[in-house]
Structures are given as structure tokens and as C-alpha cells.
Amino acid sequence: MVTMPPRTVFLIGFSGSGKSTIGPPLARKLKAEFFDTDAMIEKQTGRTISDLIMQKGETFFRTLEHKTIRRLLRSESSKVVALGGGAFVRRGVRELIDTKGIVVYLSCPVRELYRRLRLASDRPLLEGRPRVGETDKQAKLRRMSTLLNQRNSSYSKAHVRVSTANKSLTDCVQEVYRKVRELNARSSR
């Protein structure tokens, strides 16, 4: 029996886990369109995510994010969607996408995430004030660990988990592709 790819694959995970990097080649492999909700929101508002969160607040941003996901799901076309790092934490988003496709959690250890994001200045939720005797690096690692620990229970609800640490882009894409196809084949039986 030939199985068709799911209409939608949602990539979730912490900032720096590889959603926006893995998404485009995965979409090509699945013969689907690629969408990045953060990029869509930035284009729609003419502002960076960082600016939106700093000026309007995280709640405002998360509401825009939810509306963007809803808009994407109106289309029946096959797609790969990279969600913002905190999107899947919201129960409404989880409920919205859980039955609309396959949710893939791209996991990565905090130290590797830090290595990937250490020079990023556009991630306001990752900034933390150093405590007395703490370096900027330690403060950022602490903040990242705290956020990741808060999000892990939500991330663990994904249909599939793929670690992106110590793997090439090609290997990550191939592993996600294989797991998505396997899950799709099981669900179509």
C-alpha cells in the first residue's frame, strides 16, 4: 500500500532547535509548502518578533501566532509549518493542530542551543539578568534551562521526537521524513 504524506507537518521545539532550517528541505522532500509562523507575523506586522514582544507583550504576540496558525489551516494543501518556540505550550494551539497533522518535536540540549543562539540579539524571552556572581553566559543558560523545563511537558505531547544535536542537516531532514512517513503509514492502516 502506498501512503500519502500528511497534509501538514508541524515542527515544534525551542528557539535554535532547527525548525526554520530543517523545514524548507523537509517540505521539498514531502512535496509541500513551507511556512514559518514567526516570519509570517513579521511580514504581516512589519515588525520583528522581538519588537512585538517588547512593545506589545508576549500575550499579544501569542494571539497573533494563534490567528496565523488558524489561517494556515484553512488551506488543504500539504505544508510544513515551523512554529515559534512557545506556540505549542498554549493549550489552544495544541488542540488546534493535534488532529490536523503530525507534530514533530525537534529536541536539542541546552548547551547546544546556547551555542547556536549565543550571538542572537533577537530573542527577548531568552535574556536573563545575571545574578550576583553570575556571568552573562550563565544567566542566559539559566534562563534557557528554565524555559525549556517549563515547555518540556508540552513538547513531550508531540507525535514524534527527533534530536537535532550532533547531526547534519541532511541527517535531521532524513530522520524527520522517515518518522513522519512511518507514523503516517501506521495511521492509515
Q: Report the CATH number at residue 148.
A: 3.40.50.300
Is residue 60 domain-resident? yes
Q: Is residue 2 included in any domain, yes or no?
A: no
Per-residue pLDDT tens for 159-184?
999 999 999 999 999 999 999 989 88
Residue 187 lies in a domain: no
Q: What is the pLDDT of residue 137?
A: 85
Give the pLDDT band (50/70/90) at residue 189. low
> Does 6 score more than 70 pLDDT?
no
Cα(150)–Cα(146) distance, rounded to whole angstroms? Answer: 6
Domain range for 83:
8-178
C-alpha span between 53 and 89 (Å, rounded) = 16
- List pLDDT tens digits, range 116-148: 887 776 666 566 677 888 888 888 888 889 999
CA–CA distance, 30 with 76 (Å, rounded to integer)? 15
Helix (H, G, I), strand (E, B) or coil at 36: strand
Question: What tens digit of pLDDT does each residue of 22-67 get?
Answer: 999 999 999 999 999 999 999 999 998 888 988 998 899 999 999 9
Residue 122 lies in a domain: yes
Helix axes 169-187, 19-30, angle to 10 degrees: 60
Decide if 125 is inside a domain: yes
Q: Please give the backbone phi and psi of residue 104, each rounded to the nearest 5 degrees, phi first.
A: -115, 120
Please count the structural domains in the chain: 1
Residue 65 included in any domain = yes
Instruction: pLDDT band for 3, please (50, 70, 90 cuts).
Output: very low
